[in-house]
Structure formats: structure tokens, C-alpha cells
Amino acid sequence: MNPLSRRDRKPATGTAVTRLEQARHNAEMVVAESALLGERRVSEVRVALCVLLALSQMGVTRLFGEEFIQDPVRAATVTVYQLFAVSSLFAVRRRKPHPGRAFWMPLPITLVDVGFLVLAGWRSWQLTGMANEEMTAAALAVVLSFSVVRHSRFHVVLSTVLVSAGYVLLCWLTGSLTAGRVSFVLACFISLGGLLWWTNGRVSGMFLDLRRRDNLSRFLPRQVVSRIIKEGDTLLVPVQREVTILFSDIRDFTTLSETLPPQQVLALLDDYFGHMTQIVMAHEGMVNKFLGDGMLACWGAPDHTEQHAELAMRAALDMRAKLVELNAWRQQHGQPLLRIGIGLHTGVVAAGMLGGTQQHEYTIIGDPVNVASRVEGLTKAVGVDILVSESTWQRCGGRFQAERVGEEHVKGRREAVVIYALKGREPGPATMFTEGTGS
């Protein structure tokens, strides 16, 4: 059987390889965007440099009584370069980020910059007998400095080679090619290029890290984000792991939302989720997703920790305390009070990146997720705000107060789930329970 043609093959939009390729493309676009912004600043500096050069050659020389040589060739050369500076300024403002263009575009631009300076210096030598190598070297150093904001370190090396070759060419054309002076200037160019090479790499890396850190910080604790930035994406590789899952929900939210304008509903959720997300992340948890007025969070993935159950229970208690503060403020401002239910369950899930190349997220999948949601739903029937399953309680019950509620059947499971009403952090003599004991 003949293999399928490229047109007939099904695109693997959801594979890890495809996502990796998309991530590389996104990184290239980020660098290209940074390079385009840098090229825009370079074009602005180039125009300003043209204005300053014109003022120094025409205005300053006349002010101090120095002779200004009228030369149509030099005037034409300067005019052409000024037109190039202005046109490049408008051209880069209209362009969009493109990795390929960001790489090759600085090459002809740098050639024009160096070529103009060498030609201007050579023409001055022809007219006056003085090449003014010092002025040309200073201007070439400015052109070299442009490379610090360009696409990659390659452009720093390229600019260093071109300005060095341009200076040597000017000295050769004017007959001032002395080893001592030329070697000193080239050493300065190379030293400056080395500093710019290091800075260019650091700036590009920091730009990528900041963008990546901002994206990851939206759903991961900053400790985990720092590890991913430092060690790579190994923490995001799909794994099977035991985690503790927290599911919370605002009670009677549908009824509440029907009495409020949409803007107030969104403002309420934004304020509520903002506080609760901070609590989850402060306890090293991951906010997995928002489900209307519900929130799904987990501990133990992507960063593994043995204390995932304890951290989740501490977060649940802090969420309860924060709701008291929020309700006190809402009562003072005549707004309806909020009530929430929180369910905790511990189990083994599959955790990893899910989705296609255009949109994907780190998520958890498995029966424990459904159980956590069912346990949260039992808070209404039991009449408490925080319930934890026995699997969660067994891992850190000795550090908390709880009351064994009993066994409850949840939808989708044959066996009953033993649940505990979480009271507080410190154990008490009348409310401390172990596995299999009652109240």
C-alpha cells in the first residue's frame, strides 16, 4: 500500500511534538517582536543622528568660524543617507513581527550605515587631506551599538566585523593605516562588541522568560514557575500522580446573579476569585480552572510534594476565613452575603498538558476530580461548608480538627465515600478522629 500523501494525512494538532513546535514558533515570534521594537528605536536614533551631524557640520562650524566646505558629491551622499534614514523610520513602523525578516533585515541596513560613514570620511580626505578617523570611529561605534537590540547575537558579531572592516578600509584608502592606531581602535570595537554580545543574549533571554513567566503565573504558583523557568518543561510532562483536589462553589449563585446586573456579577466573581486564587497559590496549589462560579484547584502537580493533602486543607480553612472578611465588607455596603461549599478529595490522576497547538492548558483528569466535585455537592445536604474525603483525612488528619459525618453515596461510584466536616487546624479532644471511629 502506498503511503498517504501530505494532503491526505491527518494533522497531529494535539500531539506533544506539535505543541513543542508551536512553543518554538511562539518563542521566535516573541524575539521577532522584540527585535522589531528595537529596530524602530534604532531608526529613530539614526534620524536624530543625521540631524545632529547636520547641525555640527553646518551650524557649529560656522558658529566658531571654521570653514565649511561646499561639495556637491558629499551633499548628495548625505541627502541620500538622510532619505534612507527617514524612509527606514516609516518602513519599520508599518512592519509586523516576522522571525525571518528580523534575522536578515539588519544586514543591508548595517552595510548602508557603515558604507555611508566610510564614504563620508574618504570624501573629506579627498577635499581637505584629513580623513578625520576619530570622528568616523566614534560614528562606527554608534552603529555597532545598534546591534544590542537586534534579533540575535549573530548581528552583534556581524556589526563588529563590518565596522572593523569599514575602519580598516578607510585607513587604507586615506593612507593612514598604522598598526598602532588601527589595532587600538579594533580592540575597542571588539571589546564593545563583546559587551553588546553578552547584553543582547541577556536581554533576549529575559524578554522570553518574562513573557513565559507571565503566562505560567496565571495558573501555577510562583515557586513552580521559577523551577520550570530554571529546569525546563520537564515538570509539565504528562504523569500519573497522587494529588489532592479542591472543588469550591458559591451556593445559590444562580438565584443571586438573577438579581444583579451583569457588570456587578462579573465584578463579584472577579473579586471573589482574586482572593481565593491568592490563597491557593500561597499554599503552593495550582488553580486548574474556573467553572462558572466554581473553582477547581489541586496540590501535588505539576510540582510533586508529600504534603499535598495538608496544604489543601490549610487553603480550605483560609478560604473560609477570607469569606468571613469579604462578607463583613459586603454587609457594610448593603450587598448580599456569600456562602460557599468546599470539597476535598485525594487520589491518583493523570496530569499534563492537554489541548491543541492553538490553545492548551495544564490539567488533571481522573475519577478523583469527579469525587471532589461530588463531595463539594454534599456540603449542601450535610449543612457544612468544608467536607474532606477519608482519603484526604488519612494523610493529615492528626493536624486538624474534624467531625466524621458518615458514609455517603455519590453519583458515579458504587462504594460509599466517608466524609469529614473540617473544623480547624489544631486537634481537639472531642473532635479528633481516626480511621474507622465515629463521633
Top-confidence residue, 222 or 416: 416
**28 and 91 inside one domain:** yes
**209 and 351 inside one domain:** no
Provide mean pLDDT across the span 15-31. 61
Residue 112 lies in a domain: yes
Listed residue (249, 270, 205, 278) closest to 380, CA to CA: 249
**125 and 196 inside one domain:** yes
Residue 51 lies in a domain: yes
Residue 291 lies in a domain: yes
Q: Say yes or no to pLDDT of 163 above 90.
A: yes
Q: Give the C-alpha separation, 290 to 405, whole Å.
A: 28
**204 and 249 inside one domain:** no
**72 and 135 inside one domain:** yes
- Going by their DSSP bridges, the two strands 294-299 and 386-389 should be labelled as unpaired
What global pTM score does this model have? 0.58
The CATH number of residue 372's host domain is 3.30.70.1230
Residue 357 lies in a domain: yes
Residue 225 lies in a domain: no
Top-confidence residue, 19 or 115: 115
Residue 139 lies in a domain: yes
Q: Give the C-alpha separation, 291 to 280, whole Å.
A: 16
Q: Give the C-alpha separation, 216 to 225, whole Å.
A: 6
Q: Does residue 57 contact residue 68 with C-beta atoms inside 8 Å?
A: yes
Q: What is the pLDDT of residues 281-319, one digit of tens each?
A: 899 898 888 888 999 999 998 878 899 999 999 999 999
**207 and 334 inside one domain:** no
Listed residue (378, 379, 375, 377) closest to 391, CA to CA: 375
Total count of domains within the chain = 2
Positive or negative: CA dihedral 155, 157, 158, 162: positive
The pLDDT, as a whole number, for residue 13 is 41
Instruction: Tell me how crowded residue 214 is: count the other CB atoms within 10 A of its CB.
Output: 10
**284 and 176 inside one domain:** no
**323 and 184 inside one domain:** no
**195 and 292 inside one domain:** no
**209 and 242 inside one domain:** no
Share of the chain above pLDDT 90, in %: 40
The pLDDT, as a whole number, for residue 9 is 38
Residue 336 lies in a domain: yes
The pLDDT, as a whole number, for residue 324 is 95
Q: Say yes or no to pLDDT of 4 above 50.
A: no
Q: What is the DSSP string of 22-69?
A: HHHHHHHHHHHHHHHHHHHHHHHHHHHHHHHHHIIIIIIHHHTT----
Q: What is the pLDDT of residues 249-280, one digit of tens each?
A: 999 898 888 888 889 899 999 999 999 999 99
The torsion angles phi and psi of 371, rounded to 5 degrees, stand at -65, -40
Instruction: Tell me how crowded residue 253 is: count the other CB atoms within 10 A of its CB.
Output: 19
Q: Say yes or no to pLDDT of 418 above 70.
A: yes
Q: Say yes or no to pLDDT of 20 above 70.
A: no
Query: Could you check whether the bond before residue 72 is cis, i.e. omega within 30 degrees of 0?
Result: no
Residue 228 lies in a domain: no
Angle between helices 106-128 and 16-54 (to 10 degrees): 20
**177 and 253 inside one domain:** no
Domain boundary residue, one of 158, 185, 216: 216
Q: Give the C-alpha separation, 141 to 186, whole Å.
A: 10
- Domain containing 335 equals 238-424
Q: What is the pLDDT of residues 61-103, one digit of tens each?
A: 566 555 556 678 878 888 899 899 999 999 888 888 888 888 8
**254 and 105 inside one domain:** no
